[in-house]
Amino acid sequence: MKKDAGKYDKKTAAACGLFCPSCTLYIGTKEDPERLKFLAQAFKLPVEDVRCEGCRAKVRSFYCRDLCKMYKCAAEKGLDFCGSCPDYPCQELKDFQCAMPHRIELWSSLESIREAGPEQWYDRMLEHYACPSCGAINSAYDIQCRKCGAEPGNAYVAEHKDEIIRQLGKMQ
């Protein structure tokens, strides 16, 4: 894992329990402009609309800025994370969780935030999404490490590879 990567940053800890540094849009924004261009083309949007620096950052992707209901709801209720809500898990969050493979671990993530606190959860996520060979943070869709090519790209992929590939096949 990168030595400078271990500091908790609330901007990159999504209200829903997702870990923003492992988002392919975040990775594209911060480190990989070619990835970001590819994603913009795939979404048929300008690059500026797919740029994202995290759930609570000023620069957010079209999805996080315009479509995400969890961030707005948590903010309106004065909550940092959905897992703290008396309505947890609401239908909106349930629908969100089951829609895409990078959300498979949402429930355990929110439970970890609630039990261990966001700082410890964040440290666990840094390890969970780090390449076991070179330490680069990879997304749930990086079957191979985007830096060194090692497979699996991270522990998340190792645990959920079949489901990720199955879901991706449905999207094509």
Taking residues 103-132, report their average pLDDT: 96
pLDDT confidence bin for 62, thresholds 50/70/90: very high
Q: Is 81 exposed, middle or buried (0-12, 13-18, 19+ CB in 10 A)?
A: buried
Instruction: List the chain domain ranges.
Output: 8-171
Query: Is pLDDT above 50 for 29?
Result: yes
Query: Is pLDDT above 90 for 48?
Result: yes
Using CA atoms, how far apart are residues 30 and 61, in angstroms rounded to an integer?
A: 13
Query: Is pLDDT above 90 for 161?
Result: yes
> How does the average pLDDT of the chain come out, rounded?
93
- 58 in Cβ contact with 149 (< 8 Å): no
- 39 in Cβ contact with 159 (< 8 Å): no
- pTM for this prediction: 0.91
Taking residues 101-109, report their average pLDDT: 94
